[in-house]
Amino acid sequence: MVRRLAKFVAVAALVALPSAAQAQAVCVGINSCSLNPNASLTIPKVVRLALASPAVTLNTPDFSLDSLNGQLTETTFGGLNVRANHPWTLNVSSAAATWTYTPAAGASGGSRDRADLEFQASCAGAWTAMSGTAATIASGAITNGAAASVCFRTNFPNDYTDVKNRPGTYTLALTLTLAAN
Protein backbone atom coordinates (compact mmCIF):
# COMPACT_ATOMS: atom_id res chain seq x y z
CA MET A 1 0.00 0.00 0.00
CA VAL A 2 2.82 2.40 0.89
CA ARG A 3 4.55 1.59 -2.40
CA ARG A 4 1.40 2.26 -4.34
CA LEU A 5 0.94 5.63 -2.60
CA ALA A 6 4.59 6.55 -3.21
CA LYS A 7 4.21 5.65 -6.90
CA PHE A 8 1.07 7.82 -7.15
CA VAL A 9 2.83 10.81 -5.54
CA ALA A 10 5.85 10.39 -7.87
CA VAL A 11 3.61 10.29 -10.98
CA ALA A 12 1.63 13.33 -9.79
CA ALA A 13 4.88 15.25 -9.25
CA LEU A 14 6.13 14.38 -12.73
CA VAL A 15 2.84 15.49 -14.30
CA ALA A 16 3.01 18.81 -12.42
CA LEU A 17 6.70 19.40 -13.20
CA PRO A 18 6.35 20.57 -16.83
CA SER A 19 3.84 23.30 -15.95
CA ALA A 20 6.05 24.50 -13.10
CA ALA A 21 9.07 24.54 -15.40
CA GLN A 22 7.20 26.63 -17.98
CA ALA A 23 6.45 29.29 -15.39
CA GLN A 24 10.13 30.15 -14.94
CA ALA A 25 12.91 31.12 -17.32
CA VAL A 26 16.04 28.99 -17.12
CA CYS A 27 19.24 29.37 -19.04
CA VAL A 28 21.98 26.73 -19.12
CA GLY A 29 24.99 26.91 -21.38
CA ILE A 30 28.75 26.69 -21.70
CA ASN A 31 30.39 30.13 -22.01
CA SER A 32 27.08 31.93 -22.62
CA CYS A 33 23.38 31.70 -22.29
CA SER A 34 20.52 33.98 -23.44
CA LEU A 35 16.90 34.48 -22.47
CA ASN A 36 14.43 36.85 -24.14
CA PRO A 37 11.96 38.14 -21.57
CA ASN A 38 9.33 40.73 -22.49
CA ALA A 39 9.12 44.05 -20.68
CA SER A 40 5.57 45.26 -20.12
CA LEU A 41 4.19 48.59 -18.97
CA THR A 42 0.57 49.61 -18.44
CA ILE A 43 -0.30 53.32 -18.43
CA PRO A 44 -3.80 54.15 -17.18
CA LYS A 45 -6.02 56.91 -18.52
CA VAL A 46 -4.90 59.95 -16.54
CA VAL A 47 -6.81 63.21 -16.08
CA ARG A 48 -5.80 66.21 -13.97
CA LEU A 49 -7.99 69.19 -13.06
CA ALA A 50 -6.51 72.27 -11.41
CA LEU A 51 -8.51 75.27 -10.17
CA ALA A 52 -7.04 78.76 -9.86
CA SER A 53 -9.45 79.33 -6.95
CA PRO A 54 -11.35 76.80 -4.84
CA ALA A 55 -14.33 79.18 -4.44
CA VAL A 56 -16.79 80.89 -6.78
CA THR A 57 -17.92 84.31 -5.53
CA LEU A 58 -21.15 84.96 -7.37
CA ASN A 59 -22.12 88.47 -8.44
CA THR A 60 -25.42 89.84 -7.14
CA PRO A 61 -27.80 92.44 -8.54
CA ASP A 62 -27.83 96.02 -7.31
CA PHE A 63 -30.27 95.88 -4.39
CA SER A 64 -30.20 99.68 -4.05
CA LEU A 65 -32.37 99.98 -7.17
CA ASP A 66 -36.16 99.93 -7.06
CA SER A 67 -36.36 96.79 -9.19
CA LEU A 68 -34.39 93.60 -9.56
CA ASN A 69 -36.03 92.91 -12.93
CA GLY A 70 -33.61 92.75 -15.81
CA GLN A 71 -30.55 92.55 -13.56
CA LEU A 72 -29.03 89.35 -14.81
CA THR A 73 -25.67 89.15 -13.08
CA GLU A 74 -23.20 86.69 -14.47
CA THR A 75 -20.01 85.34 -12.93
CA THR A 76 -17.24 83.75 -14.98
CA PHE A 77 -15.45 80.95 -13.19
CA GLY A 78 -12.26 80.58 -15.17
CA GLY A 79 -8.88 79.28 -14.23
CA LEU A 80 -9.84 75.66 -14.79
CA ASN A 81 -6.94 73.75 -16.29
CA VAL A 82 -7.17 70.25 -17.71
CA ARG A 83 -4.36 67.83 -18.50
CA ALA A 84 -5.20 64.45 -19.93
CA ASN A 85 -3.58 61.62 -21.86
CA HIS A 86 -6.97 60.70 -23.34
CA PRO A 87 -10.03 62.61 -24.62
CA TRP A 88 -11.90 64.04 -21.63
CA THR A 89 -15.16 65.56 -20.40
CA LEU A 90 -15.65 68.06 -17.56
CA ASN A 91 -19.03 68.00 -15.76
CA VAL A 92 -20.69 70.10 -13.07
CA SER A 93 -23.40 69.14 -10.58
CA SER A 94 -24.52 69.71 -7.01
CA ALA A 95 -25.60 66.93 -4.68
CA ALA A 96 -27.31 69.42 -2.35
CA ALA A 97 -30.94 70.18 -3.22
CA THR A 98 -30.80 73.50 -1.35
CA TRP A 99 -28.21 76.13 -0.50
CA THR A 100 -26.83 76.38 3.03
CA TYR A 101 -28.04 79.67 4.53
CA THR A 102 -26.10 81.64 7.14
CA PRO A 103 -28.27 84.62 8.12
CA ALA A 104 -26.90 88.12 8.54
CA ALA A 105 -27.26 89.59 12.04
CA GLY A 106 -30.97 89.94 12.83
CA ALA A 107 -32.08 88.14 9.66
CA SER A 108 -33.68 84.73 9.23
CA GLY A 109 -35.67 82.56 6.86
CA GLY A 110 -33.42 82.59 3.80
CA SER A 111 -33.90 79.69 1.43
CA ARG A 112 -32.74 78.87 -2.10
CA ASP A 113 -33.11 75.82 -4.29
CA ARG A 114 -30.20 74.33 -6.20
CA ALA A 115 -31.93 75.26 -9.48
CA ASP A 116 -31.61 78.98 -8.58
CA LEU A 117 -28.03 78.66 -9.83
CA GLU A 118 -27.75 78.41 -13.59
CA PHE A 119 -24.65 77.66 -15.59
CA GLN A 120 -23.49 78.13 -19.13
CA ALA A 121 -21.01 75.64 -20.58
CA SER A 122 -17.83 77.38 -21.78
CA CYS A 123 -19.64 80.70 -21.12
CA ALA A 124 -21.66 80.38 -24.32
CA GLY A 125 -25.04 79.06 -25.37
CA ALA A 126 -28.11 78.29 -23.30
CA TRP A 127 -28.36 78.61 -19.52
CA THR A 128 -29.08 75.39 -17.61
CA ALA A 129 -30.40 75.08 -14.06
CA MET A 130 -28.01 73.31 -11.68
CA SER A 131 -29.10 69.79 -10.80
CA GLY A 132 -27.89 66.67 -9.08
CA THR A 133 -27.16 65.11 -12.46
CA ALA A 134 -23.77 65.85 -13.99
CA ALA A 135 -23.89 68.13 -17.04
CA THR A 136 -21.03 68.67 -19.47
CA ILE A 137 -19.39 72.10 -19.33
CA ALA A 138 -16.30 71.33 -21.43
CA SER A 139 -14.62 68.52 -23.33
CA GLY A 140 -11.48 68.05 -25.32
CA ALA A 141 -8.74 65.92 -26.74
CA ILE A 142 -5.41 64.82 -25.30
CA THR A 143 -3.84 67.92 -23.79
CA ASN A 144 -0.94 69.16 -21.73
CA GLY A 145 -2.98 72.09 -20.44
CA ALA A 146 -6.39 73.11 -21.81
CA ALA A 147 -8.14 76.09 -20.23
CA ALA A 148 -11.82 75.68 -19.40
CA SER A 149 -14.42 77.98 -17.89
CA VAL A 150 -18.05 78.02 -16.87
CA CYS A 151 -20.33 80.99 -16.30
CA PHE A 152 -22.88 81.15 -13.49
CA ARG A 153 -25.86 83.34 -12.79
CA THR A 154 -28.28 83.31 -9.89
CA ASN A 155 -31.99 83.97 -10.21
CA PHE A 156 -33.32 86.73 -7.97
CA PRO A 157 -37.07 87.30 -7.64
CA ASN A 158 -38.24 90.94 -8.03
CA ASP A 159 -39.66 90.84 -4.50
CA TYR A 160 -37.53 92.12 -1.64
CA THR A 161 -39.63 90.12 0.85
CA ASP A 162 -39.03 86.79 -0.91
CA VAL A 163 -37.08 84.20 1.17
CA LYS A 164 -34.54 84.02 -1.68
CA ASN A 165 -33.59 87.67 -1.03
CA ARG A 166 -33.12 87.49 2.75
CA PRO A 167 -29.78 88.93 3.95
CA GLY A 168 -27.02 86.47 4.66
CA THR A 169 -24.63 84.12 2.96
CA TYR A 170 -25.87 81.34 0.70
CA THR A 171 -23.50 78.48 -0.13
CA LEU A 172 -24.03 75.67 -2.62
CA ALA A 173 -21.44 72.88 -2.82
CA LEU A 174 -20.58 72.12 -6.44
CA THR A 175 -18.91 69.06 -7.89
CA LEU A 176 -16.63 69.35 -10.92
CA THR A 177 -15.88 65.93 -12.37
CA LEU A 178 -13.18 65.40 -14.97
CA ALA A 179 -13.34 62.02 -16.68
CA ALA A 180 -11.48 60.29 -19.47
CA ASN A 181 -13.91 59.32 -22.23
In this structure, CATH architecture of domain 47-180: Sandwich (2.60)
- What does pLDDT average to over the chain? 89
pLDDT of 113-146, one tens digit each?
Answer: 999 999 999 899 999 999 999 999 999 999 999 9
Angle at 131 between CA 130 and CA 134, to 5 degrees: 100
**What residues does each domain of the chain span?**
47-180
Considering the entire predicted model, what is its pTM?
0.79
pLDDT at site 22: 54
**Strand stretches in the chain, DSSP E:** 47-51, 74-84, 88-93, 100-103, 117-121, 128-129, 135-140, 143-154, 168-171, 175-180
pLDDT of 82-112, one tens digit each?
Answer: 999 999 999 999 999 999 999 999 999 999 9
pLDDT of 11-57, one tens digit each?
Answer: 444 444 444 445 689 999 999 999 999 999 999 999 999 999 999 99
